[in-house]
Chain A
């Protein structure tokens, strides 16, 4: 069965650079969530989208932005990268906005800022 695809799997950037992470949800899933997991930390919710509209916002820095496109894939854009942005970024998708359907996670993108 198709799963959530995230690209790239690994990314190394320098401070002050920009990064774009991509998430391709499971086919027919219309909701996407982004989470950030720092080293040794629990995942923290960043932002979510439902039907191409921002649904909810968590602890996402102003330097980050995201959107969901017409094909439901989502991109997380990160600018002016800081060392503290080094983390594993998860995308999850589900069918429907916060309903009974569970969210399936991608394998994550490991971002290292040097």
Chain B
């Protein structure tokens, strides 16, 4: 079974600075997806960024980028130029590539990010 581990329960960053959230995972599959979701106080789950395991290039979405190390099974999220609105719980998630019954997401325990003005 796949597992996702986020070793940082809480992180803090100064506004306009850069912060990196860590995520490791365990799987025996060679193809899969990885995601970072943001959950603000409203509790809405918002997709931040996704990475296909077969792609070597790290995904980037504006101020958000990932460092995907497939061999190390590591998938960290870097937030540049942090803004107050980035304050939220961030979940790393895994999804199997294959169709059939593997479409569900497996989440890590989350990292609570605080942004200081």
Residues of A within 8 A of B (CB): 31, 33, 35, 37, 41-45, 48, 50, 55-56, 58, 88, 90, 92, 94, 96-100, 102-105, 107-108, 110
Contact = CB atoms under 8 A, between A and B. Distances in A.
Contact of B104 (A33, A42, A104, A107): A33
A56 B110 CA distance: 24
A41 to B, nearest CB: 8
B102 A102 contact: no
A48 B104 CA distance: 8
Q: Is the interface of A mostly helix, strand, loop or mixed?
A: strand
Interface residues of B, number: 26
Contacts of A33: 103-105
B44 A105 contact: yes
Interface of B: 33, 35, 42-47, 50, 52, 91, 95-96, 98-110
Contacts of A98: 95-96, 98-104
A35 B91 CA distance: 14
18 contacts: A35-B105, A37-B43, A41-B109, A42-B108, A42-B109, A48-B101, A48-B103, A50-B103, A55-B100, A56-B101, A56-B102, A58-B104, A92-B45, A94-B103, A97-B99, A98-B95, A98-B100, A99-B103
